[in-house]
A and B are shown apart, each in its own frame.
Chain A
Amino acid sequence: MGMEILGLLGLSSVFGLIGLVLAGWMAWRIVEKSGLPGWAGLGAILLTLTGIGTIVPLILLWIFAFMRWPRDEIASAAPGASARPLSPTALPPPPAALADRRAWRLSGLSAGGPVALSMDGTQPTYLLTGATAQQANELSVPDPTVGQPHARLFVSGGRLGLEDLGTPGGTRIDGARLLPEHGPRDISAARVVHVGTVELALSRA
């Protein structure tokens, strides 16, 4: 009987150890994805081994959930991202027009083959769509992950803007997700735009 109890305790210790290692590893990854150092997540999990028990990790979980993540700061500081004004008097100045007026070019590879889109500014706005282009201002990216339409592009003052139209495939600017509620973003300094799973490199023609 005594041996059985000891064996059960040993088994539960093994499961406990495996659970602790798994939880620490996953916490490391989650915290790292938010932009914080991964060791902070591991440390929070390891705190459960100490005398302060689970209450401190629980408090840390609440803080982590409601704090500002460095990932969000990186996304808002991304090229073209407009900072939220603190007050009406703190509105940032409008972006200056660029001297370079060459056409913008988006190129990549979609499911339907190579894509090379040119925006020379003859149209003020362009509609990016997964369907075949029907009008002069429509740019086709034939791919099932690209919405119909997917996004809107703006050319003004030599700058290029991008607005997501809320399709499931999503839009990313240099890896940062662009949501419809973000509105149009200046992507003149961006390098790569993802529409759905299609990667498009931004350059000047």
Chain B
Amino acid sequence: MDPISWLLGLGSLLVFGIVVVHLLAALVLIIPTWRICTRAGFSGALSLFHLVPLIGPFIVMGVLAFSDWPNGEAPPGKR
């Protein structure tokens, strides 16, 4: 096997491995975030932003932190 093909094969394998690890890591975050979103009154699909590398978790947290929860929030006096 020539070295170029070998390197391409190794590169493809690495990319595949990175994607799989990213999806698994995202899934570990998506499941609890899905529940938090639905409990807050948002669509659970909002948690799929975790699939976006780097800024995805910030988008989900930003929506949860800075918008009114449709299912209600704890009153300020009870926090």
Contact residue among B36, B58, B72 (Cβ-Cβ distance under 8 Å from A177): B72
A interface SS class: helix
In the complex, the answer to whether B39 meets A69 with C-beta atoms within 8 Å is yes
Contact with A along B20-57 (1 / 0, CB 8 A): 00000000110111011001110000000000000001
Q: Is the CB of B41 within 8 A of A177?
A: yes
Question: Given contacts A33-B73, A38-B79, A175-B72, are A26 and B32 in contact (CB under 8 A)?
Answer: no
B36 touches A71 (CB 8 A): no
Which residues 13-53 of A have a CB within 8 angstroms of B? 19, 22-23, 25-27, 29-30, 32-38
Contacts of A27 in B (CB 8 A): 61, 65
Contact A66 B79 (CB under 8 A): no
Interchain residue pairs A-B with the least CB separation, the first 3: A35-B74, A65-B32, A26-B65
**Besides A27-B61, A33-B40, A74-B78, 5 new A-B residue pairs in contact (Cβ under 8 A), listed by A number:** A29-B65, A34-B74, A65-B31, A71-B78, A75-B72
Chain B residues with CB under 8 Å of A70's CB are 74, 78
B70: interface (CB < 8 Å)? yes
Q: Report which of B28, B33, B35, B69 forms a contact with A33, defined as CB distance below 8 A.
A: B69
Number of A residues near B (Cβ < 8 Å) is 32
How many residues of chain B get a CB closer than 8 Å to chain A's CBs?
26
What residue of chain B has the Cβ atom nearest to residue A25's Cβ?
A: B65
* A61 interfacial contact with B, CB 8 Å: yes
Which of A37, A64, A179 contacts B32 (CB under 8 A)?
A: A64
CB distance from A161 to the nearest CB of B (A): 19
What residue in chain B is nearest A32 (Cβ atoms)?
Answer: B79
Bound-state Cα–Cα, A66 to B57, Å: 19
Give the residues in chain A near B70, CB-CB below 8 Å. 170, 177
> In whole angstroms, how far apart are the Cα atoms of A180 and B75 in the complex?
22
- The smallest C-beta distance from A200 to any residue of chain B, in angstroms, reads 17
Instruction: Give bound CA distance, A36 to B65, whole Å.
Output: 14
Asked whether A58 is an interface residue with its Cβ less than 8 Å from the other chain, the reply is yes
A176 at interface (Cβ–Cβ under 8 A)? yes
Chain A to chain B contacts (Cβ below 8 Å), 15 pairs: A22-B58, A29-B66, A32-B79, A33-B65, A33-B73, A34-B74, A35-B74, A37-B79, A62-B31, A64-B32, A69-B39, A70-B74, A175-B75, A176-B72, A179-B71
